[in-house]
Structure 1
Amino acid sequence: MSQDLLSMLEAMRKPETRSASCDKHGPFGSRKLFGTTWSRCSKCAEEAEAEERRKQAEEVAEKQRRAWEAKIGRAGIPERFRDRELSAYVATTEGQHRALKFAQTYADRFEEVIETGKSALFIGKPGTGKTHLAIGIALHVMREYNRSALFITVMRAIRSIKDTWRKDSELSEADAIEDLVFPDLLILDEVGVQFGSDAEKLLLFDVLNERYERRKPTLMLSNLAAQEVAAYLGERVMDRLREDGGQAIVFDWQSHRGGKQ
C-alpha cells in the first residue's frame, strides 16, 4: 500500500478539529461530526445529560407519589391520619410498648399473617392510639408488600351495604359485601359505637365470616370494654377471632388526644 494511500486513510480516521468557545465554560476543542455539524462543549453536554436525568428522576418520583396517594385514597385512610407511621408512635408506658411491638410484628410478618387470616381487636378509650397503630400497619403492608387495605367505620360499612337496597342502586348487596371482603387487610373502626339492629349485625357477620373463610385478616377497633365488644360481635365472631391466633390488645392508658396518638 502506498504511503499516500496510508496518509489518506489516516486523515479519514482522524476527526477534523477546531478551536471553539463556550459562553459558559470558555475555550474547548470541537470535533467535526458530519457535514457542517461540530461537537458542542463537552461540559455543557454533561450538564444537559445530568439535567435530563434529574428531570426523569423527578417524573418517576412524581408518578410514584401520585400512585401512592391514589392507593391511600382507595384505602379510605382520612387525610388527617396519613402520616400515622408506626415509627411515629410514641410509647412511654409498658402497655404502649406492648401494643407497638404487636403492631410492628403484625406488619413485618404480614405475609405470614395473611396465610392464616390472623385478626386482632384493639380495645380502649378514645385517644389511646388504636387508630394510629392500625393505620401504621396498613401503611406498612401497602408500601412494603404492595398489599391492599381498607379503613372504614362499621357504620359506613353497614351503610354501604344498605345503600344497595335502593331501586336506583347500580350495585347489589353482594357487590358491597365483596368490596369489604376483597382487601388484603380490613380495618373496622368504631366497632359497637352504637348497638345496631339484628339485621345490621347479621350484615357485619356476613362480611367477617366471608373474610374468615378466605383467610383475610381484619383489625377491629373499639372504644367499648371487652365484654361489651364481645356482646356486640357475638360468640361466633369471637370464636373465629380466637381460632386463628387472634389477639385482643387492650389500650388501658390515658388519652393522648391532641397529640398524634
Structure 2
Amino acid sequence: MAHSDNSSFIHVGGIVDFNRENRSERRLPGEQVKARPEPVSAAIVNYREHLQRSHDRCASGRHSARNGYSPLVLGSDQRHCQQHGDYTAYSHKPGIWSVCEKCLQASDAQQRRASMQQQRQVQQAALWQKRLGRAAIPARFAERNLQNYRPTCAAAEQALRTCQAYAQEFDAVLKTGRSLIFCGSVGTGKTHLAVGIARHIMDAGKQAVMSSVLKAVRRIKESYRRDSPHTEAELIQEFVEPDLLILDEVGVQFGSETEKMLLFDIINGRYEVMKPSILISNLGLAELEHYIGTRAMDRLREGGGKAVVFDWESYRRVV
C-alpha cells in the first residue's frame, strides 16, 4: 500500500512523532509484526537539518524553553531514574535522548555552586594578594604563618603560644592597644611570628602593615622635598591608621635625633588612638629602651604590653 511521506507522521499537541505507526500492514494469521525502522524520506532529512539548526540556536542561547521556544520532538519514551523514579524522555535528535529533568537540574545546580566557589576562591586570592601588597610583607616571609613555625626549645614554644593568643584575641587587643616587643638574637623567628600574627588578623579582615624603621623614616622624610604632595603629618598618619603596625629592624639605623623623633611620633600617634604595634629588634631589652627612649617604651608597655625575649640559638644554625 503506497503512502506519502506525510502519512507516517502523527501530530499530537504540536509535537511531531514519527515513532508511532498510523498505517495497517497485511500479514498472515498468527504472523507477528516485525519492527522496522521508519523510511528516511527527504522530509525527515529536512527535519533533521532543522533540528540541528534548532539545537545550535538553543546551545547559543538564542532559543530555549525558558523563552517559550520548544524544539521539534522526534519521539518520547517512558524511562526510569534510580534516584527520581519514572520520567518521560524526549528525542530532539536521532539517537540522543533527554535525561531525567531533576537530575539535570541537580547537575546544573552543582555546576553553579562549583563555579561560584571557584569565583570566590579567585576573588579571595586576589584580595589576599592585595592585602599582602598593602601590608608590605617581604616576599621571603609571604608564606610564613603561626602554623608553620617550628619551635626548637621550650622558650620558643612559649613565644609561639604568646603570639597565638595575641592573634586570637586581637579584637580585645584593639580595645586596649596592647603592643608586643620582640627582641633578642638573630635567626630565632621574630619576623616569622610577627608575620604570622599579621596573616591571622588579615584573614579576619583587619589591616596590618609591616615596615622597617629605616623605610618608615625615609617615607616620612619624602615630605621634606619642595615638590612633595604630602606633609610630614600626612605621612606619619599612614603608619598610624592600620589596625596593626609591625616595625622591623629597630636599632639598625644610625639613631639620629630626627629619626628617633619620627619613630616616637609614630609610636605615640598609635598610642593615642589605642592602635597596637609590634617592634622587632636584635638589641637586648635594655639597649632597645635606650635607643627608642623611655617615653616610647612606656607607651608600648601600657595596656598590658609584653616583651618577648628571643635568647635561644639561631634556627638557621640548627637546620
**Shorter chain as normaliser: what TM range?**
0.7 to 0.9
Superposition TM-score, scaled by structure 1 size: 0.83
Residue identity matched to 1:170: P
CA distance in structure 2 between the aligned counterparts of 1:56 and 1:254, rounded to whole angstroms: 48
Which of 171, 195, 199 in structure 2 is aligned with 1:135?
A: 195
CA distance in structure 2 between the aligned counterparts of 1:166 and 1:259, rounded to whole angstroms: 47
What's the CA shift for 1:182? 0.2
CA distance in structure 1 between the aligned counterparts of 2:78 and 2:113, rounded to whole angstroms: 27
What's the CA shift for 1:78? 1.4
For the pair shown, the structure with the greater C-alpha radius of gyration is 2
Which residues in structure 2 correspond to 1:190-205 (within 5 Å)? Answer: 190-205=249-264
Q: Is the 8 A contact 1:192 1:224 kept in 2?
A: yes
What's the CA shift for 1:109? 0.6
Residue of structure 1 equivalent to 2:298? 239
Percentage of matched positions with identical amino acids: 43
Is 1:64 equivalent to 2:64 in the alignment? no
CA distance in structure 1 between the aligned counterparts of 2:174 and 2:107, rounded to whole angstroms: 49
CA distance in structure 1 between the aligned counterparts of 2:119 and 2:317, rounded to whole angstroms: 37
What's the CA shift for 1:45? 5.4
Residue of structure 2 equivalent to 1:97? 157
Is 1:150 equivalent to 2:209 in the alignment? yes
What secondary structure does 1:192 align onto?
A: coil
Structure 1 gap segments, 5+ residues each = 1-10, 22-27, 33-38
Write out the 4+ residue segments of structure 1 that deviate beyond 6 Å after TM superposition. none
Q: Is the 8 A contact 2:152 2:315 kept in 1?
A: no
Distance 1:183 1:87, change over 3 A: same
CA-atom RMSD, angstroms? 2.7
Is 1:83 equivalent to 2:83 in the alignment? no
Residue identity matched to 1:96: A
Residue identity matched to 2:145: E
What's the CA shift for 1:76? 0.8
Superposed CA deviations along residues 215-244 of structure 1, whole A, max 9, x for unmatched, are 000000001122211111101011112222
What's the CA shift for 1:127? 0.8
What secondary structure does 1:224 align onto?
A: coil
Structure 2 gap segments, 5+ residues each = 1-11, 14-72, 80-86, 92-96
Q: Is the 8 A contact 1:126 1:257 kept in 2?
A: no
Q: Is the 8 A contact 1:195 1:232 kept in 2?
A: no
CA distance in structure 1 between the aligned counterparts of 2:105 and 2:206, rounded to whole angstroms: 43
Residue of structure 2 equivalent to 1:107? 167
Which residues in structure 2 correspond to 1:143-222 (within 5 Å)? Answer: 143-144=203-204, 146-222=205-281
Residue of structure 1 equivalent to 2:5? none
CA distance in structure 2 between the aligned counterparts of 1:259 and 1:53, rounded to whole angstroms: 47
Higher helix share: 1
Superposition TM-score, scaled by structure 2 size: 0.68
Distance 1:103 1:235, change over 3 A: same
Residue identity matched to 1:18: S
Residue of structure 2 equivalent to 1:125? 185
Superposed CA deviations along residues 21-73 of structure 1, whole A, max 9, x for unmatched, are 9xxxxxx83369xxxxxx94235554444333322211111011111111111
Residue of structure 2 equivalent to 1:5? none
What secondary structure does 1:207 align onto?
A: helix
Residue identity matched to 2:138: P
Residue of structure 2 equivalent to 1:19? 77
What's the CA shift for 1:118? 0.6
Residue of structure 2 equivalent to 1:249? 308
Superposed CA deviations along residues 97-124 of structure 1, whole A, max 9, x for unmatched, are 1111110111111111111111111011
Residue identity matched to 1:70: K
CA distance in structure 2 between the aligned counterparts of 1:176 and 1:125, rounded to whole angstroms: 31
What secondary structure does 2:316 align onto?
A: coil
Query: Which structure has more RCO (C-alpha within 8 Å, separation ≥ 6)?
Result: 1
